Amino acid sequence: MASVAAPSGEIHWQAHDMTPPWRRAPETIVFHHGIGTSGGIWSDWLPVLAGRYRLVTFDLPGFGRSTTPGEDHRWTLDGMLADLLAVADAAGAARFHLVGESAGGTLALHAALQAPDRLASVTGVSCTHRGDAIQRVGEWWEQIPGATLADWSAEMMRLRFHDGRVPADALAWFKAEQDAGDPRTVLAIAEMLVGADMTARLGEIALPVLLLAPDASPFVAPPIAAELHALLPDAELRIFPHARHGLAFSHGREAAATLYEFLARRGEEDRP
């Protein structure tokens, strides 16, 4: 576990490297979580991908073990990209595969446009390319009236997960992480996302993109994932049945297996 001084604050990150010593210079996957969570949400992905890839997780500023930006901090996609690249640089990842969920998925698309030379591929989980397609987020300003996320967090658990899909101990951990987030950061990132729209530029993304979408997200409906898929020059889409917006956590192993197969197949295609 380490930390790096990034533009938005001190970011805690962790490299998970179980690749065998004879696999020289393994490719790196960097994971970017979304609003209200932390790098721990990728825990079920790691065993599936470890041994083949070097894996880097981190806590977004305002969540987990990273510091909370000051009240004058202005959240932008460019600023989030600078934070991401600071983590990648600290981890020694000059070029990497990027996996982002929800807000992290939107950031991943932005990274593909702004820093394509740093990326080998992009995977977006429960994400969108345009903020006007995000449903229900307008309710957050009523659910987060002050210094606590309690009401918002309780409602988000219902919107993220179907009953019985996630073990009780995992749900308790997730809710505790969500409860501990910074309310101001939650609303600031949400406001930024609502105003984002990459529709006109998606055709510029030449990188391979994998889209993993739930069939029942209350925030990003499947038609939005289909729209995003159609606008990207080189993309694959998988819709997960019986999944809500917390797909990255509730279906971690299945999602990671899909990513593993995608990267393995694309790697074979790229070889001469």
- Across 123-146, average pLDDT: 95
Range of the domain at 208: 2-270
- Averaged pLDDT score across all residues of the chain: 96
pTM tops 0.75, yes or no: yes
Stretch 243-258: mean pLDDT: 98
State the average pLDDT over residues 230-243. 98
Rounded Cα distance between 234 and 244, Å, is 25
CATH number of the domain residue 199 falls in: 3.40.50.1820
Can you give the pLDDT at residue 268?
A: 64
What span, in angstroms and rounded, lies between the C-alpha atoms of 221 and 143? 22
Q: Going by C-beta distance under 8 Å and a sequence separation of 6 or more, which residues neighbour residue 245?
A: 102, 126, 159, 160, 214, 217, 218, 219, 220
**pLDDT digits over 67-99, tens only?**
999 999 999 999 999 999 999 999 999 999 999
What's the total number of domains in the chain?
1
Please give the pLDDT value at position 270.
Answer: 61
Q: Quick one: CA dihedral 257, 260, 266, 271, positive or negative?
A: negative
Residue-wise pLDDT tens digits, 182-210: 999 999 999 999 999 999 999 999 999 99
Q: Which amino acid is it at 237? A: L
What is the residue whose two structure tokens read 């591929």?
121
Please say whether the beta carbons of 191 and 103 come within 8 A: no
Token pair listed for 32: 């970017």
Cβ atoms of 68 and 182 closer than 8 Å? yes
